Amino acid sequence: MKSHLLVSTLLGLGLLTAVGVPVFAHHGNAAYADEITEFKQATVTKFAWANPHALISFDAKNAKGEVVHMVVETAAPQALRLIGWANTSVAPGDVITVRMYVAKNGNPAGRLQKIILADGSDLHDTQLGGDEGGKTRYDPLSDK
Amino acid sequence: MRKVSTGIIAGVVGALCISALVSAQAPQNNAPRSPWKYYPEDARANEGPGGPAPVRDMSGTWAGESSGAGVKRLVPPERNPAFTALGKELFSKNKAESNGVLIAQSNDPHVRFCDPFGFPRNMNDQIRSMTIATVQNRTFVMLKFMNIWREIWMDGRALPTKFAGRGADVHDPTYNGYSVGRWVDDYTFVAETTGMAPETWATEGGLPHSVDAKVTERFNRSSKNDLSLTMTMDDPKLYSKPVSLGEVNFRWIPSQTFFDFSCVPSSVQMYLKEMADPSGTPAAAK
């Protein structure tokens, strides 16, 4: 509940943006919201290049300077490598933008849509061609 | 010895030539390429049948539906087979993610603990790639997901049939069971398996099987580039009719290279603790 309030507060402060994008069937999507939430100026605290899913932990500040800690999952490293990721793609201290589908229950977790790095380049979650077999949520056509 | 050396050199030179040819034919970009890396675009670009299937030969490395190479599953496993009362009871206990259950509430032993799929699930779930190799009396099926290998005996032995009780003729059930196989024509290889560990699920959807289940696999190589696998399970204790475990499709990987891919138990515990369980509390299901 506390986390839910945090997310709600951040939304109210305009630090998070809900973007209307359709959701596609994928592994475990029942737990996540149908819209993308964007965290700007997110500071990476951990990048776990792990199976079955790589995890990015990050802090995002609200207007009061309070830090909310989030974790976002993406695909397995082998699938991510096929679409341009490496185990060095992000590192603690990096400041990035995170676009993700947050947990419906308000807990500070979710599934990645994509990250935007400091140089403006982006890395997205698995797409067709990267990890087929019902594990995809990213549709490149919806991100044009 | 000299012949062996010459053969090895010829093999290496041949492999290098094939590798160079594959590289030359792949979609062009400027990134350096490595013979140690898997490029799904190569398999995707290798369109068409590629020529006739070789006779009684499935050897090589094949891309499945989760390989990123655009390989499509042909038929999914049955989701509502003809259960017996016991089968229905056991199925009701399996909380499968693919049946709309959140990971946090799933009791899938693989999802929660990276337990081995066991056969037949390892041939119908997470189909990334497999390598098939045949020696004099056996065919090996090696699955890249979880680094599993199965052996299918071709020396004419009979399958074991007793997996419970006491006695010298009783065999322990195993994750991959006991398999025998034979060519039924020049392009179709049939394997039968018994003795599969009953604690494993037969499919991602949580279909159970008993220790007395028998699974029949039918591999058909229709061309150089195409291999399909149809699976059927007979398990009268749990199902009143044979159950279709679907049909998966494989495509030849030109470079014959795929990557290692395993679920890591310590990592899955981190994933569940930090990600799946917090995001999958009951409130999420509303």
**Is residue B191, in this structure, part of any structural domain at all?**
yes
H/E run at residue B9: helix B2-25
Tokens of B250: 């494989």
Tokens of B75: 């038929």
**A43-57, A72-86, A89-103, B85-99: segment of lowest average pLDDT:** A72-86
In angstroms, the CA B200 to CA B123 distance is 13
**Is residue B49, in this structure, part of any structural domain at all?**
no
**Is residue B233, in this structure, part of any structural domain at all?**
yes
Q: Which residues of A touch B (CB under 8 A)?
A: 27-28, 30-32, 48, 50-53, 55, 57, 71, 73, 76, 78-79, 81-82, 103-110, 128-133, 135
Cis before A52? omega within 30: yes
**Is residue B107, in this structure, part of any structural domain at all?**
yes
Contact B68 A129 (CB under 8 A): yes
CATH number of the domain at A67, please. 2.40.50
Residue type, B160: P
Q: What number of other Cβ atoms are within 10 A of residue B249's Cβ?
A: 18
In angstroms, the CA B253 to CA B240 distance is 39
Q: Which residues of chain B have pLDDT under 50?
A: 1-4, 6-28, 283-286
ipTM of the complex: 0.77
In this prediction, residue A7 carries a pLDDT of 47
H/E run at residue B143: strand B138-143
In this prediction, residue A48 carries a pLDDT of 97
DSSP secondary structure letter of residue B121 = G
Q: What residues form DSSP beta bridges with B215?
A: B193, B233
C-beta of residue A28 within 8 angstroms of C-beta of residue B97:
yes
Band the pLDDT of A15: cuts 50, 70, 90.
very low
Q: For residue B97, list chain A residues with Cβ-Cβ distance below 8 A.
A: 27-28
In angstroms, the CA B146 to CA B233 distance is 23
In this prediction, residue B280 carries a pLDDT of 80
DSSP secondary structure letter of residue B242 = -
Q: What angle do CA B114, B118, B120 make, to 5 degrees?
A: 135
**Is residue B11, in this structure, part of any structural domain at all?**
no
Contact B261 A51 (CB under 8 A): yes
**Is residue B48, in this structure, part of any structural domain at all?**
no
Percent of chain A predicted with pLDDT > 70:
65
Domain boundaries, position A110: 2-143
Contact A51 B284 (CB under 8 A): no
**Domains in chain B, number:** 1
Domain boundaries, position B255: 56-285
In this prediction, residue B23 carries a pLDDT of 41
Report H helices in B94-135: 109-113
Contact B267 A27 (CB under 8 A): no
In this prediction, residue B132 carries a pLDDT of 98
C-beta of residue B201 within 8 angstroms of C-beta of residue B94:
yes
Which of A85, A104, A111, A128 to probe by mutation at the B interface, max B CB count within 10 Å? A104
Q: What is the pTM of this model?
A: 0.82
Q: Is B277 helix (H, G, I), strand (E, B) or coil?
A: helix
Tokens of B130: 């497999």
Query: Is B104 an 8 Å CB contact of chain A?
Result: yes
**Is residue B115, in this structure, part of any structural domain at all?**
yes
**Domains in chain A, number:** 1
In angstroms, the CA B192 to CA B139 distance is 13
Q: What is the mean pLDDT of residues A26-45?
A: 81
Nearest Cα neighbor of B123 from B144, B98, B102 is: B144
End-to-end CA distance of chain B: 71
Query: Is B272 an 8 Å CB contact of chain A?
Result: no
Is pLDDT above 60 for A26?
Answer: no
Nearest Cα neighbor of B245 from B5, B87, B79 is: B79
| Cα Rg of chain A, angstroms | 14
